[in-house]
Amino acid sequence: MADIPDITREAQDRAASPPLESRVEVSESTLGKTKRLSRTGRSRKQVSSSSQRRLVVVSNRVPVPKDGASKAGGLTVALEGALKQSGGLWFGWSGDTVESPSDQAKVVQAGNITFAVLDLSQRDYDEYYAGFANRALWPICHYRLDLVQIERQELDGYFRVNRAFAASLAPLLQPEDVIWVHDYHFIPLAAELRRLGFKNRIGFFLHIPWPPSDVASALPAYQQLLQGFGAYDLVGFHTPQDAENFQRCLVRENIGSSIGTGEHEIDGHKVRIGAFPVGIDTETFVRAAANAERNALVRRTKASLGDRDLIIGVDRLDYSKGLKQRIEAFSCFIKSNPDFRNRVTYIQITPKSRSDVPEYQRMQREIAEQAGWTNGSLGEVDWTPVRYVNRTVGHAALAGLYRMSQIGLVTPLRDGMNLVAKEFVAAQQPDDPGVLILSRFAGAAHELDGAILVNPYDTEACAGAIARALRMPLEERRERWDSMMARLRTNSVEAWCQHFLSSLGNVSSEGLEAHATTNPENGRYPFSEGAPA
Ligand code: ADQ
């Protein structure tokens, strides 16, 4: 497995000793007092120094606390950890569609986090979310040109909603706020805020992959989207490979000019580009897993397995997760290793998502049918080889299910990071850990060097990996787990957040120069160490 990306080591150092000017703390003014401020002016009450900058997070879905229900989105899980540390404002879509949405956000205060959300009209939802974001950006960023749906109207809707969200966010912003925009739904948001006169530091993090230019250029309004990145001060990706793909797209399209390693100037504005691999709340997961024996679902599942081994897969139901190929690989494993018949069970826990997008409806049907066929052809009266479940499971139970599994099967066809891979590792019992089988096309493959890396399209190789994992001696399992766990302990979600925000805080001419001098221009991308071959 390849080397550790340099930026992660840097993250560890920074997390241990955050620079003063980049610390983000809760300022006194909260959104509860939603007074309108001049766009660039400073309210007299806002005495805000660089060490007291309020953090504003923008993401499509905002988990406004309601009933403590468990959440299935990786973005949510990662960001909650981040905002709890610093407090501030979390702005985005409410998740609701209404007939006549207000342009003023609904505000809820919870602890040190203020949530502000907007509803969408059905048309906005169809065009911006179900349309352009999930039928053009998502498939293209996951290298699925065969699934792309391009509609002018949806493209217009995407830019229209971004403009409207920027306009509604504007009155809630303060001049010193540090704004952190998340994911593909909001690429043009910074450009819209700049157009309104905001000069705040604005960072962007993409939670999904960024493909090479031949694939990315299938995006409609490709140049306009790329140009929009120029309004950010910092653009982050999960892996060096994604960051490199992105910068090459800029170069190839003649958008601005490269001004050093990982830096670009677009319309006179400097943008820093880098890899920031997201982590998980490792210690919480470790504790949850250790206590999970008390969990009723975990206990019932254990009893239902008897002495069979367990293989676990946990994914949102999405074509990027490679579920069809995974079930095929499991089936191939059983057929080629008959001694494992009735000795191993594969549980796939998969909540449905985006069910109103036609490509997802089709896939949901296909996967369910495939699980049914597999059980029909392989199963016994007393053995269901594949337990396929469309449910969300609470994190405590999930941690326990990971822990009792001999294998974590994480084989996406393409994934920005994949938090499940990390959660599985964190949940293992140190003296008897399970084995992670991980797709080389998941961002996590850049970090988790103790996993068995597989090509998810190669059914027989994946089946072979399952057999190898089930027969792996304890010593090798421990060795592999130790090295992955060390990484998870240092690159937690806190370290990720700290690293991104400190990098955003350091974006200035001076910071950029300093950065350039520490990365000798040797023709390689600065963070390109660590990409799997
Ligand atoms: P996702 O595509 O949603 O995230 P992932 O990173 O695996 O994928 O995160 C899924 C999260 O949802 C995990 O925390 C997992 O525990 C949880 N989850 C999944 N199924 C569940 C279930 N049945 N019950 C309960 N919880 C469940 C996007 C990108 C990823 C990237 C993340 C974070 O697609 O590549 O890693 O954002 O940046």
Q: Are residues 371 and 353 in the same domain?
A: yes
Q: Would you say residue 20 has pLDDT above 60?
A: no
Give mean pLDDT, residues 215-242: 97
The answer to whether position 129 is within a domain reads yes
Domain hosting residue 111, numbered range: 7-42+49-279+493-522
| CA–CA dist 517, 515 (Å, integer) | 5
Question: In terms of domains, do 188 and 305 share one?
Answer: no
Q: Is 339 a catalytic residue?
A: no
Distance of alpha carbon 290 from the chain centroid: 25
Say how many Å lie between the CA of residue 313 and the centre of ligand 1: 12
Pairing of strands 113-120, 106-110: antiparallel
Is 111 domain-assigned? yes
Digit-coded pLDDT (tens) for 402-450: 999 999 999 999 999 999 999 999 999 999 999 999 999 999 999 999 9
Q: What is the pLDDT of residue 356?
A: 80
Q: Which two tokens stand for residue 504?
A: 């955003």
- Does residue 252 form part of some domain? yes
User: How far is the centre of ligand 1, averaged over its atoms, from the C-alpha of 130 (Å)?
Assistant: 19
CA of 157 to the centre of ligand 1 (A): 27
At 25 the pLDDT is: 28
* Same domain membership, residue 422 and residue 398: yes
End-to-end CA distance of the chain: 8
Catalytic: 415?
yes
pLDDT of residue 9: 31
pLDDT grade for 75, boundaries at 50, 70 and 90? low
76 with 110, same domain?
Answer: yes
Which of 402, 419, 491 has most ligand 1 atoms within 8 Å of CB, for mutation?
Answer: 419
The answer to whether the beta carbons of residues 55 and 22 sit under 8 Å apart is no
User: Which residue's CA is the closest to the ligand 1 atom numbered 22?
Assistant: 392
- 391 located within any domain: yes
Helix or strand holding residue 362 (H, E):
helix 358-378
Q: What are phi and psi of 225, to 5 degrees?
A: -65, -45
**Ligand 1 pocket mutation pick from 316, 347, 409, 497 by most atoms within 8 angstroms of CB:** 316
Instruction: State which amino acid sits at residue 129.
Output: Y
Question: How do residues 249-296 score in pLDDT, each as one tens digit?
Answer: 999 999 999 997 799 999 899 999 999 999 998 998 999 999 998 999
Which residue spans within 377-485 are E strands per DSSP? 386-389, 407-410, 435-439, 452-454
Do residues 445 and 417 touch, judged by C-beta distance below 8 A? no
> 61, 70, 242, 420: which to mutate for ligand 1, most atoms within 8 A of CB?
420
The whole-number pLDDT of residue 6 equals 28
Atom of ligand 1 nearest to the CA of 389: 23
Q: Which residues contact 462 (CB under 8 A, 6 or more apart)?
A: 325, 326, 329, 332, 333, 411, 437, 454, 455, 456
**What is the CA(316)–ligand 1 centre distance, in A?**
7
Index of the ligand 1 atom closest to the CA of residue 351: 23
Task: Take atom 26 of ligand 1 and give the residue whose Cα is closest.
Answer: 72
Per the structure, the count of domains in the chain is 2
Same domain, 253 and 293: no
* Other Cβ atoms within 10 Å of 218 Cβ, number: 14
Mean of the pLDDT values across residues 302-328? 96
- In angstroms, the Cα distances linking 283 to 119, 230, 390, 399 are 35, 37, 28, 12
| Nearest atom of ligand 1 to the alpha carbon of 410 | 7
Q: Which tokens is 24 given?
A: 């983000």
114: alpha, beta or left, given left = phi > 0 and alpha = psi -120 to 50?
beta
Q: CATH number, domain at 145?
A: 3.40.50.2000
Residues 261 and 160 in one domain: yes
**Do 442 and 296 sit in the same domain of this protein?**
yes
The pLDDT of residue 505:
84
Tell me what pLDDT residue 63 has: 85
Confidence of residue 32 (pLDDT cuts 50, 70, 90): very low
Phi/psi of residue 429, nearest 5 degrees: -80, 120
Question: Are 239 and 322 in a shared domain?
Answer: no
Asked if residue 449 and residue 315 are part of one domain, the reply reads yes
Lowest-confidence region among 392-401, 504-513, 517-526: 517-526
Query: Model confidence at 141, in pLDDT bands (50, 70, 90)?
Result: very high
Asked whether the beta carbons of 409 and 311 are under 8 A apart, the reply is yes
Judged by average pLDDT, the poorest of 56-65, 203-212, 306-315 is: 56-65
Q: Which atom of ligand 1 is nearest to the CA of 394?
A: 25
Give distance in angstroms: CA of 51 to centre of ligand 1: 33
Residue nearest atom 13 in ligand 1 by C-alpha distance: 74
Verify that 304 and 232 share a domain, yes or no: no
pLDDT score of 17 more than 90: no
Ligand 1 atom at minimum distance from 70 CA: 25
**What stretch of H or E contains 79?**
helix 74-86
Q: Is the pLDDT of residue 135 over 70?
A: yes
Is residue 531 a part of any domain in this protein? no
**Residue 533 counted as domain residue:** no
Q: What is the mean pLDDT of residues 209-226?
A: 97
Long-range contacts of 117-120 (CB under 8 A, 24+ apart): 117/62, 117/64, 117/91, 117/92, 117/93, 118/92, 118/93, 118/94, 118/164, 118/165, 118/168, 119/93, 119/94, 120/93, 120/94, 120/96, 120/161
Q: How far apart are CA 388 and CA 393, in angstroms?
A: 13
Q: 94's torsion region: left (phi>0), alpha (psi -120 to 50) or beta?
A: alpha
Tell the residue nearest (CA) to atom 10 of ligand 1: 74
Burial of 235 from C-beta contacts in 10 A (0-12 / 13-18 / 19+): buried
| Residue 271 near residue 229, CB atoms below 8 Å | yes
User: Which residues does a 6 A CB cutoff place in the pocket of ligand 1?
Assistant: 70, 72-75, 77-78, 207-208, 278, 314-316, 349, 351, 391-393, 398, 415-420, 423
Judgement on whether residues 124 and 12 belong to the same structural domain of the protein: yes
Model pLDDT, residue 88: 86
Q: How many residues does the chain have?
A: 533
Strands 201-205 and 88-97: unpaired
CA of 147 to the centre of ligand 1 (A): 21
The residue from 124, 238, 415, 515 that is catalytic is: 415
CB atoms within 10 A of CB 240: 25
Statement to judge: residues 356 and 269 lie in one domain:
no
Query: 0.75 exceeded by the pTM?
Result: yes
- Is 529 a member of any domain? no
The residue to mutate among 285, 314, 317, having the most atoms of ligand 1 within 8 angstroms of its beta carbon, is 314
Closest atom of ligand 1 to CA, residue 78: 33
Q: Round to whole Å and give the CA distance between 153 and 175.
A: 34
Give distance in angstroms: CA of 74 to centre of ligand 1. 4
Amino acid letter for position 350: T
Has residue 201 been placed in a domain? yes
C-alpha span between 202 and 58 (Å, rounded)? 10
Task: Give the Å distance between the CA of 415 and the centre of ligand 1.
Answer: 10
Q: Does position 491 have pLDDT exceeding 60, yes or no?
A: yes
Q: What average pLDDT does the chain have?
A: 84
> pLDDT category, 460, cuts 50, 70, 90?
very high
Indicate which residue of 142, 182, 185, 207 is catalytic: 207
88: CB partners within 8 A, 6+ apart:
24, 26, 54, 55, 56, 57, 112, 113, 114
How do 257-260 and 263-266 pair as beta strands? Answer: antiparallel
Q: Whose CA is nearest to atom 35 of ligand 1?
A: 416
Q: How far is the CA of 282 from the centre of ligand 1 (A)?
A: 15
